[in-house]
Amino acid sequence: MPEVYYYASSDKVSDIIDCGLKLSASYDKEVLIDGNVQQCFVGLINPRDDINSYNSQSLTCIKINVRSDKCYVADSFVYDTIKDKPENLELYNKSVIPLEKYIFGTYRKPECLITSTILAGEASRLDRCMDLPVIYENSEALYINNILNNFKEQYNNFDDHLLYSLFSRLAEMGKVDTIKSSDGGKAIFISSSGELYCIRKPELIKIFQTEVPCEK
């Protein structure tokens, strides 16, 4: 069975491991799943996706073996953004998919929606030396890296455009000084400590043009 992670009060962890945790008495939220509102525990794919809880002295992370048909993944970043705008709640509801169909890096803040009671023996304490995912640090970092890599493949000179936009904004804020070439195609941004950042200014239209290899 898949493993997901759940933070609980440290003083309750032993009881959860020995006796389980009843869904109807301790659920975290109610979510529309497959057309029905269901009670859910909210867990994580990676314990480090909630770094505050990860570093908390009052919370302990437990790993839970769940049935695939009783666990879904949704994007909590979407929910946090629109929770005060009920007219947009459908965007969150549409993000709910079965755990087995989730592809890592698809959601910025994936949350695991566990729709069943946690039975005795299904949970255990997280061993930070043995149980932490090692392929990636956390889901947000993976999500951002995926976006950047995809845009680098799609758009020419994407890195230069991104850096030029950032440093131009810093210049507007008075954080850096700027020296531009006569044709405007190059710029040197100078930090308050004197460090130089040499950035090309790609023409915006060229970013969206695909380079075609020359035929020989």
pLDDT the model gives residue 216:
42
Domain contains 105:
yes
How many Å apart are CA 93 and CA 198, to the nearest integer?
45
Shared domain for 86 and 122, answered yes or no, is yes
Shared domain for 141 and 159, answered yes or no, is no
Range of the domain at 134: 3-146
Shared domain for 109 and 182, answered yes or no, is no
Total domains in the chain come to: 2
Name the nearest CA neighbour of 155 among 106, 193, 206: 206
Domain contains 216:
no
Shared domain for 99 and 177, answered yes or no, is no
Pick the last residue of a domain from 112, 146, 180.
146
Pick the last residue of a domain from 108, 123, 146.
146
Q: In the block, which residue shows the tokens 């979510």?
A: 31
Domain contains 213:
no
Shared domain for 68 and 173, answered yes or no, is no
How many Å apart are CA 46 and CA 140, to the nearest integer?
10
pLDDT the model gives residue 129:
72
Domain contains 214:
no
The pLDDT tens digits along the chain (216 residues) read 789 999 999 999 999 999 999 999 999 999 999 999 999 999 999 999 999 999 999 999 999 999 999 999 999 999 999 999 989 999 999 999 999 999 999 999 999 999 999 999 999 999 877 766 656 789 999 999 999 999 888 888 889 989 999 999 999 999 999 999 988 889 999 999 999 999 998 776 555 555 544 444
Shared domain for 97 and 52, answered yes or no, is yes
Shared domain for 53 and 111, answered yes or no, is yes
At 193, list the tokens.
């400590």
Using N-to-C axis directions, what is the helix angle for 139-154 and 158-172, rounded to 10°? Answer: 110
Shared domain for 58 and 32, answered yes or no, is yes
Shared domain for 19 and 112, answered yes or no, is yes
